[in-house]
Structure 1
Amino acid sequence: MPATASPAIDAFLRTQMIEQPTLLVDIDLVETAFADLSEGLAGIPLFYAVKANPEIPVLQRLKNLGSNFDVAGLVELELVISLGVHPDRISFGSTIKKNRDIIAAYEAGVRLFAVDAYEEMEKLAAHAPGSQVFVRLLTNGSDADWPLSRKFGIDPEEAVELMLFGKSLGLVPVGISFHVGSQARDVAMWHPCLDMARDVWQTAEEHGLELSLLNLGGGFPAYYDQDIQNLAAYAKGVRALVDKYFPNNPSRMMAEPGRALVADAGVISAEVVLVSRKRKDDIARWVYLDIGKFSGLAETQGEAIRYRIVSTGRLEETGPCVLAGPSCDSEDVLYEKRPVDLPLDLKCGDRILFHAAGAYTATYASVGFNGIPPLKVICLSAG
């Protein structure tokens, strides 16, 4: 079996029988990523985006390292609270919250909430009175591999008006947030967002608002099939841009990494179920796996996220393959526009490894579509 970046995962693959698609996560690599990102951002507190990978060993290790947490809903909130995380270390980062979730968060002691709409301000004023709020700005993010545009954020031209509205309801507008888009591979992608944030900040101050919090959101990349800067250097570049656009740093800053902390710590082990050709003279083979879009690889939608893939094929000579999942849904095709080169002797029963699969895989897996079980997760550590 080809080596991974993790001795613990390598040892598991050598010695254990894996009978269903399984995500292996090396918790020690999560710790390394946390240290690298913290070093590069030079003191900006990290609020781990729990949705990326909510496995308890992951959360516990990050808690022990001093991480804060960004939650998107009540289940995630209850999970981190159950681990003894103080509510001061929790931000409710979703801008779409049910009333009962706001009430539960407020009763648990959470006092920091994201918002991007007038009705959301009214809900927070009614159910989390006096809380601190930060307004999420609408961004493009189109250059990122997994854009987060359109759905979230308010037009920057209207952000200050929304803050003033919140203040009139008794809330405390403390700052702004944005998201450059998930898997933003180039530091240059941060320029337009920081430029926009600076303009909104200045306008807010001109209207008498005393802002203190700049939330950089996420977007820090993982290593998929394209080379990127190492995480510490990338984060250092982002920090330099923050200092450029906000030379008098806000008294409070935060970032919400998810993918960057856990993706490279995970490897999915899957199995080849069938290798076929639609026609005898087809160059590309169709390789059907026991995992697909509905069982953990949702981010292959549109071939947006391209995992590094290796196999146990015995020949060095390779050929193009279309990768597809096992379900009866015709949309369950992973890579077809850009086929994956795999050994020519690949056959049923061979193993396929998806590298950098620790983020947004198990949390995306269906409960049992087509009778396929959810993606199994095993957390490992050399310690």
Structure 2
Amino acid sequence: MRKVQYEFPLSDFTSEADFKRIKEFSKDKETPFLIVDLSKVEKMYDELVKNMPFVKIYYAMKANPLDEVISSLRNKGSSFDAASVYEIDQLLRLGVWPERISYGNTIKKEKDIAYAYKKGIRLFATDSESDLNKIARNAPGSRVFFRLLTESDGADWPLSRKFGAHPDMIYELILQANEMGLEPYGLSFHVGSQQRDIGQWDNAISKCKYLFEAVSLQGIQLKMINLGGGFPAKYLSPANELETYAHEILRFIKEDFGDNHPEIIIEPGRSLTADAGVIVTEVIMISKKAKMNQYKWVYLDIGKFGGLIETLDECIKYPVYSESRGYEEEVILAGPTCDSMDILYENHKYAFPESLRENERLYIFTTGAYTQSYSSVAFNGLPALKAYVI
């Protein structure tokens, strides 16, 4: 096999000045840790507003719930999608008004609905008769939106099956909500996280159009469509630019609803914060399983349980950068824990310089979303992933 020099398109993920700043900030800190650049979060929010002025943004805070991120987006004017009463409490503590909070999880305890209502929350997601009954009992008069079951074809991280219901069931739930004294406010869906097939929004929006018309025949006028998330971040596999997503999604909406379309909400999480994050990790060990094995194993001090759970089934392929130089070789990347599942990439081979050595630091880009919030508390006694904001 012909040897080639190791090359990494660093400029695709960070500027030279920003990387220098990351290195300087990192030099005296114990790995692994996450660095989040708030200016990049704010820039991405501005890009969403610029390209999708027709939407209202509800940041999906589960992607990155750092106080600094929440406060920055609050100041930008964002609303927020909360998945639990704990997230609601955090938002209220940080001065977010209840009117800017949606309780977007369709799986809720009865007492949590009552608590959210007491705190002033009046917008709830639902997708089942059980949940709808709980909302009616504990949040009377609230606005509810109904989550449609959609396919996640084309998404790196699918979100189908568990959430949403078939349009026929949603139709019945809308009628029931009206009879219960709730306000059937709109519909929602999620086409899957890191969705590369823009046409999935077209399919879902057409289902919304059908339901808008069906319930209007029963005297119910829905007012809102929640498009969910799914917008891209910069991982190894390229995706269309945000401008393309925005243009096509608006076209889909106009095709079905014309210029007088309903209120449109989006719930971005990954697309707002992923590109703003870099994980700094250290190579613990490099080894082979047998003398004649083709591939070396490179063990890092972060793995699936330390914040990289989205490498499960190698779904999300993070850009990983080494400062070493020389001819490249393909390796298997694994985490540090004593669990055989803690292998990051075995089928998809990452290439690093042959000069890669133990104790060297690697930089994992596009890790500002779903890393610290996914990291375990103390598996193998290891602490949760530290995070710093710059």
CA contact (8 A) 1:148 1:182 kept: yes
In the alignment, does 2:307 pair up with 1:296?
yes
CA contact (8 A) 2:254 2:261 kept: no
Name 1:140's counterpart in structure 2.
Answer: 151
Amino acid at match of 1:38: V
In 2, Cα distance between equivalents of 1:71 and 1:328: 34
In the alignment, does 2:376 pair up with 1:366?
yes
Name 1:229's counterpart in structure 2.
Answer: 240
Amino acid at match of 2:361: R
Amino acid at match of 1:141: S
CA deviations 1:247-297 (Å, max 9, x no partner) are 144442210000000000001111100001111222211000000000100
The 5 Å alignment of 1:43-122 reads 43-122=54-133
Seq. identity, %: 43
In 2, Cα distance between equivalents of 1:10 and 1:151: 43
CA contact (8 A) 1:53 1:360 kept: yes
Name 2:186's counterpart in structure 1.
Answer: 175
Q: CA deviation at 1:9?
A: 5.5
Name 1:355's counterpart in structure 2.
Answer: 365
Q: CA deviation at 1:43?
A: 2.7
The 5 Å alignment of 1:210-221 reads 210-221=221-232
Amino acid at match of 2:71: Q
Name 2:330's counterpart in structure 1.
Answer: 320
* Counterpart among 14, 23, 27 of residue 5 in structure 1: 14
In 2, Cα distance between equivalents of 1:258 and 1:221: 10
In 2, Cα distance between equivalents of 1:235 and 1:358: 22
Q: CA deviation at 1:188?
A: 2.3
In 2, Cα distance between equivalents of 1:41 and 1:264: 19
* Counterpart among 172, 176, 184 of residue 165 in structure 1: 176
Q: CA deviation at 1:71?
A: 0.3
Residues 231-240 or 189-198, more deviating: 231-240
Q: CA deviation at 1:229?
A: 2.5
Residues 233-242 or 277-286, more deviating: 233-242
| Aligned residues between the structures | 379
SS in 2 for 1:17: coil
The 5 Å alignment of 1:207-286 reads 207-286=218-297
Name 1:338's counterpart in structure 2.
Answer: 348
After TM superposition, where is structure 1 displaced by more than 6 Å over at least 4 residues in a row?
none
CA deviations 1:293-334 (Å, max 9, x no partner) are 001000000000000111132x23111111100000000000
Q: 1:198 to 1:356 in 2, by over 3 A?
A: same
Q: 1:249 to 1:179 in 2, by over 3 A?
A: farther
Q: 1:316 to 1:243 in 2, by over 3 A?
A: farther
Name 1:39's counterpart in structure 2.
Answer: 50
CA contact (8 A) 1:9 1:24 kept: no
Name 2:197's counterpart in structure 1.
Answer: 186
In 2, Cα distance between equivalents of 1:300 and 1:310: 16
Amino acid at match of 1:374: A
Q: CA deviation at 1:230?
A: 2.5
In 2, Cα distance between equivalents of 1:79 and 1:195: 36
Name 2:4's counterpart in structure 1.
Answer: none
CA contact (8 A) 1:276 1:286 kept: yes
Q: Please give the root-mean-square deviation of Cα atoms over the aligned residues, in Å.
A: 1.5
SS in 2 for 1:114: strand
Residues 50-59 or 235-244, more deviating: 235-244
CA contact (8 A) 2:202 2:249 kept: no
* Counterpart among 380, 383, 387 of residue 377 in structure 1: 387
CA contact (8 A) 2:153 2:200 kept: no
Q: TM-score, normalised by structure 1?
A: 0.96
In 2, Cα distance between equivalents of 1:10 and 1:170: 58
CA deviations 1:49-105 (Å, max 9, x no partner) are 010000011011100000000000011101111111111111110001111211111
In 1, Cα distance between equivalents of 2:144 and 2:203: 23
In 1, Cα distance between equivalents of 2:19 and 2:369: 16
CA contact (8 A) 2:125 2:144 kept: yes
Amino acid at match of 1:42: P
Q: 1:331 to 1:102 in 2, by over 3 A?
A: same
SS in 2 for 1:280: coil
Amino acid at match of 1:212: K
Amino acid at match of 1:354: I
In 1, Cα distance between equivalents of 2:20 and 2:169: 52
In 2, Cα distance between equivalents of 1:161 and 1:185: 32
Name 1:27's counterpart in structure 2.
Answer: 38
Name 2:134's counterpart in structure 1.
Answer: 123
In 2, Cα distance between equivalents of 1:245 and 1:287: 51
Q: CA deviation at 1:199?
A: 1.4
